[in-house]
Amino acid sequence: MATYEFHCQKCDLNFELMFSFGKYQKKTKPIRCPNCNSTRVVRRISYFEARTSKKS
């Protein structure tokens, strides 16, 4: 399992979600904010991907 940090752009909440490896990368479901249920959630920069300019 790995913990991913996310940031909600709507309500400014930071939260963490745990995924097993590989499961997150399938991206079958959009990440939803646990506070406002928005899908305007971005993954926070951790130890790599520090210079991501692409937005999908």
| Residue (16 or 21) nearer to Zn ion, CB | 16
Supply the minimum distance, in Å, between the C-beta of residue 52 and Zn ion.
Answer: 21
Residues contacting 36, CB < 8 A, separation 6+? 8, 10, 11, 13
Identify the bridge partners of residue 19 per DSSP, sorted by sequence position. Answer: 2
Supply the minimum distance, in Å, between the C-beta of residue 20 and Zn ion.
Answer: 24
Which residues of this protein are in contact with Zn ion, per CB under 5 A? 8, 10-11, 13, 33, 35-36, 38
Supply the minimum distance, in Å, between the C-beta of residue 29 and Zn ion.
Answer: 16
Do the beta carbons of residue 13 and residue 7 sit within 8 Å? yes
